[in-house]
């Protein structure tokens, strides 16, 4: 594996500001400019097990979700449906809370692009917090009422 070719593919397919940092044998930290809403960078690692390369978030995305949402709530209802749908759509696997995406046919850039999209969509589940949904509902309800009900004279 030539890391220069991988970085070039990452940069061509995703963003010119991507770099790799070796963290041991067949393990690389992928640095991207992409951030979660709190300003922290997305955690992505490129690693090889049994001659198969894949991208991993090493459980970071799931862990971050549990900062705002009870872990049990992630496995039921709409949150579970959204996460399951994203994983299916982007062909990402949930390996006990670690999200992984195999790199197929040396298409490293395509895999990284897909993986970043999936992680960002999964992190959007935090927007379903009860307080945020409640405040949005009230705003929408007030707007609807002011459009529908004539003003009182």
Looking at residue 68, its pLDDT comes to 79
Contact 72, 78 (CB under 8 A): no
Looking at residue 2, its pLDDT comes to 81
Ranges of H-type helices in 41-129: 60-68, 77-90, 108-123
Inform me whether the pLDDT recorded for 107 exceeds 60. yes
> Which structure tokens are listed for 28?
């690389």
Strand-pairing partners, residue 100, are 56, 93
pTM of the predicted structure, to 2 decimals: 0.81
Alpha carbon distances (Å) from 145 to 53, 89, 131, 135, 149? 55, 37, 21, 15, 6
Inform me whether the pLDDT recorded for 152 exceeds 80. no
> Which structure tokens are listed for 11?
């940069």
Q: Please write the tens of the pLDDT for every residue from 28-42.
A: 999 999 998 888 999
> Which structure tokens are listed for 148?
């529908």
Higher pLDDT, 131 or 30: 30
> Which structure tokens are listed for 65?
């979700």
Please calculate the CA angle 71-76-81 and round it to the nearest 5 degrees: 115
Q: Where does the pLDDT of residue 133 fall: very low under 50, low under 70, confident under 90, or very high at 90 and above?
A: low
Strand positions, DSSP E, 19-97: 19-22, 27-31, 45-49, 52-56, 93-95
Inform me whether the pLDDT recorded for 131 exceeds 80. no
CATH of 3-148, one of 3.40.1350, 3.30.1460, 1.20.120, 3.30.1300: 3.30.1460
Query: What's the rounded mean pLDDT across residues 46-57?
Result: 94
């Amino acid at each position: 594996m030539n890391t220069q070719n991988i970085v070039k593919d990452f940069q061509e397919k995703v963003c010119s500001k991507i770099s790799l940092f070796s963290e041991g044998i067949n393990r690389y930290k992928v640095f991207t400019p992409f951030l979660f809403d709190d300003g922290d960078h997305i955690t992505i690692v490129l690693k090889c097990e049994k001659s198969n390369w894949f991208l991993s978030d090493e459980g970071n995305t799931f862990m971050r979700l549990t900062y705002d949402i009870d872990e049990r709530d992630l496995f039921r209802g709409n949150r579970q449906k959204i996460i399951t749908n994203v994983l299916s759509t982007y062909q990402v696997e949930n390996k006990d809370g670690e999200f992984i995406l195999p790199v197929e046919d040396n298409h490293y850039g395509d895999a990284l692009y897909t993986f970043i999209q999936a992680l960002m969509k999964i992190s959007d589940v935090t927007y379903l917090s009860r307080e945020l949904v409640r405040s949005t509902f009230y705003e929408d309800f007030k707007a609807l009422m002011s459009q529908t009900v004539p003003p009182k004279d």
